[in-house]
Structure 1
Amino acid sequence: MQRRAAAVSVALLVLLAAGSFAFIGAAQQPEVSLDDPDYTVASNEPRTIGGTEYAFGEVTESSAAANWTNESAQYTETWSAEDTVAYQGANYTVVIPNESDPSTFRLEEAQEVDRETIEQNGTTYVVIEDGENRTLVPRDQYLPEPTVHEFSEGDAIDYEGNDNETSVASVAQGEVTIEWFAPMTNELTFSEGENTSIGDTDYRAHFAQQDGTPVLQLTTDYEDYDEDVDAQTYFNERINGLWGIVILASSAAALLVMLAFMPSRY
C-alpha cells in the first residue's frame, strides 16, 4: 500500500517535471525589435549623422565602431618653468617671471660649455688650460650672451616639428600652454543596449539581423527598446521558475522512491 501510494505520487511529480521541461523547450524568448530606428548601418558603410560623416567598420552581432575626423581639433602642450624645449633648431630654457599672474615668458638659449667646469663657492668656472697654465673663468664670462626670445599671450611661436600655426594660449605661474589646430581622427564604439553620444544626441544601440547580415540600429526611442528588454526579463524569470519546478519535482520523486523501498523494521 505504501509503495502504491508512493508510485502514484512519483508519477504525478514526474508528469509535472516533464510538462515544465517540455514547456521550457518549446518557449521562445521575445526579441528586441525596434519599430522605427533613427539609423540602420551595415559593415563598412559611411553615414552622415548630425551633419558629420562617420566611417563605420565591421558590424558584428554585438559591437561596432565608427571613425570621424574633426578638421580643426585643438591640440595643446604645456611647458613648465626651467624646461628645455627645441626652438628654431636649438635648445632653449623656459623662463617665466616670478609673478602671481604673468602674461609673458622668455626662451633663453641653453648654452653648453665644451671644456671642463668646476664649482667653487657657488660659482661655476670653466677650466682653460694653456700648456702648464690653468686659468678659471666664470662660466657667465666664458660664454657669449645667450639668445633670448620673448613672448606674450596670443603671440605666434615656431614649435619645432609642428607644421601647423602655433600660438601662446596662456601664461600662468610656473607654466606656459601653447596651442594649435589640426585634423584629429576620433573613434566611437557601440555595444548592445549602451548609449553613445553623437554630436549633441545620445543614441541607444541595438544589433539586429537584416537579410542574414548583422546591422547596427540607433534609436532615441528608449521606451521602445526598454519595453522589449522588460519582456525578455519577464520571460527569463518565468523560465527560471519552471526550472525550479523541474528540479524540485525531480528531487521529490527521487526521494519518494528511496523512502518507499526502505526496508521495514516491523
Structure 2
Amino acid sequence: MAVFVALFLAIAGVAGALTATADSPEIALENPEVDVSESESIDVDGESYVVADISETENDEGQMIISGVLEREFTAETSETWANDSTVSLDDREWRVEVTGENATEFTLVEVLDRQAILEGDENAENETVTLDDGEYVAVTDDSGERTLVPVDEYFPAPEERSHATGETLEYDGQTVTVDEVTADGAVLVWETTETETVEVAQESIVTIEGTDYVAHFPDTSTLRMSTDIEAYETQTAEIDRFNQYNSGLSRVFILSVLSSIMLAGMAFIPSRY
C-alpha cells in the first residue's frame, strides 16, 4: 500500500511540476505589415485608414477583450432627381420644376408663392381669395373703406423663375451641385460628399481590407498588429490549443493521483475483520 501511495504521489509531483513550469505559447506576428497605435494611420493599396479606437471591454463571460476600429474617409458621388412638375425647397422657398419639350437641355424653377402668407401680411386684404364665375380675386379695402376686387394675377407678384442648363451649378442644401442631365421626366443633379467607412477589428480576427485578408492581433491595449501571413498565425493557434490540451490532461493526472493516494492511505487504516 505504501509503495502505491508513493507511486501516485510521485506521478502527482511530476504532473504538478510540469503544469507549474510550462510556459504557455503566445501569438507573435513576425514582421507584420501593420504595427500601429491609436490615432496613427496605415496605407493599404493607396487608401489611408486611421486607427480611430483601441479599447478593452468585458464580455458576457467576464473576460477582458481588446478590439479596435479603423476608419477611412472617401469621396462619393451623390445624385438626386427633380421630377418634372415636382416641388423642391431651395433658399428657404418652394419651387416648381418645369421641363419643356422632349429634348430639353435645361429646366426652370418657378417660385411657388405663399399666397396665404402674402394675404395675411396685407392688413387691407382679406385672408381668403374670392372666386367668381369669371375668375379668382382678392378683396382689398382701401383707407376710405371701399372694398375692391383685384384679379389675383394683378395682386400677387409675378413668381421668380430660374433656368439651369446641363453642366451648370447651383447651391442646394448647403452643397454646390451640378446639373448632370435633363430629360422630359426631370433633372438629375450630382455632387460629391465625404463619407466614412468603418472597419471593426476584433482580437485575432480575419479582417478584409481593400480585398486583402489580414489577421489582427492586439498585444496590448494601445497597439494593433496585422499580418497577411495567416498560415503562420493558424500554426501558432494550433500550438496553443495543443498546449492547453496537454496542460489540462496533466492537471487531471495531478488531481487523480492525489485523490488516489488519499484513498489508498485511508484504506490502509481500515481495520481487518480477521
TM-score for both structures, normalised by structure 2: 0.59
The corresponding residue for 2:234 is 226
The corresponding residue for 1:50 is 45
* Residue 85 (structure 1) shift: 1.5
Deviations 1:34-64 (A, max 9, x none): 2232232234444444334544456568334
Task: State yes or no: 1:236 paired with 2:240.
Answer: no
Q: Tell me, in whole angstroms, the C-alpha distance in 1 between the residues paired with 2:268 and 2:161.
A: 103
Give the partner amino acid of 1:161: G
Q: Which runs of 5+ in 2 are unaligned?
A: 57-65, 120-126, 270-274
Conserved? CA contact 1:195–1:202, under 8 Å: yes
Q: Tell me, in whole angstroms, the C-alpha distance in 2 between the residues paired with 1:196 and 1:248.
A: 43
Conserved? CA contact 2:206–2:216, under 8 Å: yes
* Residue 223 (structure 1) shift: 0.8
From 92, 96, 108, give the equivalent of 2:95: 92
Q: Which runs of 5+ in 1 are unaligned?
A: 262-266
* Residue 112 (structure 1) shift: 0.4
Q: Tell me, in whole angstroms, the C-alpha distance in 2 between the residues paired with 1:152 and 1:202.
A: 47
The corresponding residue for 1:264 is none
Change (3 A) 1:132 1:215: same
The corresponding residue for 2:24 is 29
From 206, 209, 218, give the equivalent of 1:207: 218
> Alignment length, in residue pairs?
244
Q: Tell me, in whole angstroms, the C-alpha distance in 2 between the residues paired with 1:238 and 1:77.
A: 61
* Residue 146 (structure 1) shift: 2.8
Give the partner amino acid of 2:76: Q
Secondary structure at the aligned position of 2:25 is classed as coil
Paired-residue identity, %: 25
Matches within 5 A, 1:132-151: 133=147, 135=149, 142-151=155-164
Q: Tell me, in whole angstroms, the C-alpha distance in 2 between the residues paired with 1:14 and 1:120.
A: 111
Moved more, 9-18 or 109-118: 9-18
Secondary structure at the aligned position of 2:244 is classed as helix
From 166, 169, 172, give the equivalent of 1:159: 172
Larger radius of gyration: 2
TM-score for both structures, normalised by structure 1: 0.60
Change (3 A) 1:125 1:16: farther
Change (3 A) 1:15 1:202: same
Secondary structure at the aligned position of 1:117 is classed as coil
Matches within 5 A, 1:1-266: 23-56=18-51, 62-70=66-74, 73-76=75-78, 78=80, 81=83, 82-87=86-91, 90-94=93-97, 106-113=108-115, 114=117, 115=119, 116-117=127-128, 127-130=138-141, 131=145, 133=147, 135=149, 142-151=155-164, 154-162=167-175, 164=176, 166-169=177-180, 177-181=188-192, 187-208=198-219, 214-241=222-249
Change (3 A) 1:244 1:128: farther
